[in-house]
Amino acid sequence: MKEAPPADLAQVEDVAAVWPDRGDREFMTRLWRSYVVPRTQAIREAQGRGVYILELLAVHPGCQRLGAGKALVQWGTRAADEQGVKAIVEGTPVARRLYEQCGLRAQIEEMQFDVGDEFAGRKMPKLTFMVREPKS
């Protein structure tokens, strides 16, 4: 990714179709605005070279603990190495150990989401912003 993601979720997807409830839509719009901040910063710091984004990864429960997740993360980090760019991921606590085994390190231990006081009681995602420098 060489260009920062838009801060406005409506530029990424049809928010009214995905979240028909107005409150859910507003909550997700605000959450997204905070979610993209570390990713945007990493892209800016790359000074035009870009970063390799490891998007959310899921392995079917029947196939877990067989190495599929690790193989996918290693594939992504190798691709980042070939391009000479950082690999980044917003990882969950469950996946953190796997990402660390593949060389990613926490840059932000727990991402913070500014959604406003009216949504303070809603469950927030628990994500760690993780980065891996390219290997030569």
Distance, in Å, from the CA atom of 102 to the CA atom of 31, rounded to the nearest integer, reads 28
pLDDT at 9: 96
Q: What number is the average pLDDT over the span 66-70?
A: 93
- pLDDT exceeds 80 at position 136: no
pTM of the entire structure? 0.92
Strand partners, 129: 90, 108
Distance, in Å, from the CA atom of 82 to the CA atom of 75, rounded to the nearest integer, reads 11
Spans of all domains in the chain: 9-132
pLDDT at 57: 81
What sections of the chain are H helices per DSSP?
15-18, 22-45, 68-83, 96-101
- pLDDT exceeds 80 at position 16: yes
- Spell out a b/e string for 60-89, using b for 16 or more CB atoms within 10 Å of the CB, else e: eeeeeeeeebeebbeebbeebbeeebbbbb
For 76-98, the pLDDT digits (tens) are 999 999 999 999 999 999 899 99
Distances (CA, A) of 113 to 28, 47, 81, 125: 10, 26, 30, 9
CATH code: domain 9-132 is 3.40.630.30
> Whole-number mean pLDDT of the chain?
95
Distance, in Å, from the CA atom of 69 to the CA atom of 63, rounded to the nearest integer, reads 9
For 106-125, the pLDDT digits (tens) are 999 999 999 999 999 999 99
pLDDT at 25: 96
pLDDT at 65: 87
CA 120 and chain centroid, separation: 22
- pLDDT exceeds 90 at position 58: no
What single DSSP character describes residue 23?
A: H
